[in-house]
Amino acid sequence: MTATTSTPGGVFARLTGQEAVAEELLRAARDPASMTHAWLFTGPPGSGRSLAARAFAAALQCESGPAEGGPGCGRCQACQTVLAGSHPDLVVESTTGTFILVGRARELAQQAARRPVAGRWRVIVVEDADRLNDQAADALLKSLEEPPERTVWLLCAPSLEDLLVTIRSRCRHVRLRTPPVDAVAALLVAEGVDAPMAHYAARAAQSHIGIARRLARDEAARARRREVIAIPASLTDLGAALSAAEALYSAAQEDTDDEEQARARRAYIADLGGDPDARVQPPAIRAHLKAWDEDAKRASRRRQHDAIDAALTDLASVYRDALVLGSGAPVEPVNATEPELVDRVRRAFTPEELLRALDAINLARQRLVANGAPLLVLEAMMISLIHPRASGDRG
């Protein structure tokens, strides 16, 4: 097998279970004449959209030739600085807010217009392109359609439908798939996790690499997941539903790590030349601090939403497994280590009720994206999941 058809290594080895994508990106990096100036990476959560974009950016800037493993060797200074996010010709937009607003989009368009100063390309990575509001998307259209000769846009989103048609029609589409469970488990084993734990974490995380790493290494994360997947069988009345919503909401608040945020705020004040212990800061520092507090509040809200969304994924997996078990379909369960719990839910609900439960969880997700009050959204969802046979036996 030739070098052009073998599984790419270097920076592309980071793309677990995405060999076809890695080969496509490597071919483009090797042949500038075949390059496209706007790319759109789509794929489900955990598929590695941002990893793929960063790996491609590193390959585009790589200083090594084919004999040295380039493009994308992963060892040269260009590759390492791109992967670290510090390359002078790389801009990475990873929003902490619910949306990317038009002002920030205009800034990105201005940065895209600059010529590269050290590398071959000026690379703009937008990790959450699905968070562009309509005005922000419109502000990027001209730059996406007619970018400077040495500028490349790399946009990331869960699916094509998450972007305006005017944006996606200007991009070359790269679709990532959910990595196979065995590939994620093998990655964890290579990182030092024992095989049984690696397979449990990969399956429970539904191949989301980041979540799988956390489950494999953090007993507290595993304990929280066990609490979430126990919810369906516990929703026997209104009190149980409200308690479950409160518990899930409180756990998400804990994930925002207020103590870490307070330490970061103190360090920021010190960097500005202020006294972190002072009750009142000078006017110049207050202006910067106000902007920092607003950014921190948006970041905290997003982390809370992400934590809730991860819990909803775990919750949905139980109803999904119960539906699969009841149908007799030869499909591997997500919660393979909890067969009694899944069977209990299967016996408590009809297939139609299980489908309605999955719809209720999906509706809660939509309401959260629309900035619904998290606790109220969770309470409404849990109430809709109450069933009088939740603790019964349907045989």
Please indicate whether residue 17 or residue 2 has the higher confidence score (pLDDT).
17
Residue 97 has what pLDDT?
A: 66
- Residue 394 confidence (pLDDT) above 60: no
Q: How far apart are CA 230 and CA 144, in angstroms?
A: 47
User: Is residue 392 situated within a structural domain?
Assistant: no
Instruction: Identify which of 82, 49, 55 has the alpha carbon closest to the alpha carbon of residue 163.
Output: 49
State whether 105 and 170 are in the same domain.
yes
User: Is residue 5 situated within a structural domain?
Assistant: no
User: Is residue 111 situated within a structural domain?
Assistant: yes
- Write out pLDDT tens, residues 219-231: 999 999 999 999 9
| Contact present, 245 and 375 (Cβ < 8 Å) | yes
Q: How far apart are CA 38 and CA 380, in angstroms?
A: 41
Q: φ, ψ for residue 124 (rounded to 5)?
A: -115, 115
State whether 73 and 138 are in the same domain.
yes
User: Is residue 223 situated within a structural domain?
Assistant: no
**Strand order through the sheet with 90-93:** 90-93, 122-126, 151-157, 38-42, 172-175
User: Is residue 226 situated within a structural domain?
Assistant: no
- Write out pLDDT tens, residues 263-288: 777 887 887 788 888 888 888 788 77
State whether 79 and 189 are in the same domain.
no
Instruction: Identify which of 200, 191, 187 has the alpha carbon closest to the alpha carbon of residue 226.
Output: 200
Question: At which of 166, 192, 217 does a domain end?
Answer: 217
- Write out pLDDT tens, residues 276-332: 888 888 887 887 788 777 777 777 777 788 889 889 999 999 999 999 999 988 888
- Give the domain extent around 36: 10-175
Strands 151-157 and 172-175: unpaired
Burial 34-45 (b: 16+ CB within 10 A, else e): eeebbbbbbbeb
How far is CA 187 from each of CA 6, 194, 302, rounded to the nearest angstrom?
Answer: 19, 11, 28
State whether 164 and 185 are in the same domain.
no
| Contact present, 143 and 153 (Cβ < 8 Å) | yes
State whether 71 and 171 are in the same domain.
yes
3 state SS of 132: strand
What is the total count of domains within the chain?
Answer: 3
115: CATH: 3.40.50.300
Question: At which of 160, 190, 217 does a domain end?
Answer: 217
State whether 74 and 153 are in the same domain.
yes
User: Is residue 136 situated within a structural domain?
Assistant: yes
State whether 168 and 236 are in the same domain.
no
State whether 240 and 126 are in the same domain.
no
User: Is residue 2 situated within a structural domain?
Assistant: no
Bridge partner list, 92: 125
How far is CA 109 from each of CA 62, 86, 112, 147, 341, rounded to the nearest angstrom?
Answer: 24, 19, 5, 9, 52
State whether 268 and 336 are in the same domain.
yes
3 state SS of 175: strand
State whether 186 and 168 are in the same domain.
no
State whether 120 and 209 are in the same domain.
no
Q: φ, ψ for residue 170 (rounded to 5)?
A: -95, 5
State whether 209 and 317 are in the same domain.
no
User: Is residue 207 situated within a structural domain?
Assistant: yes
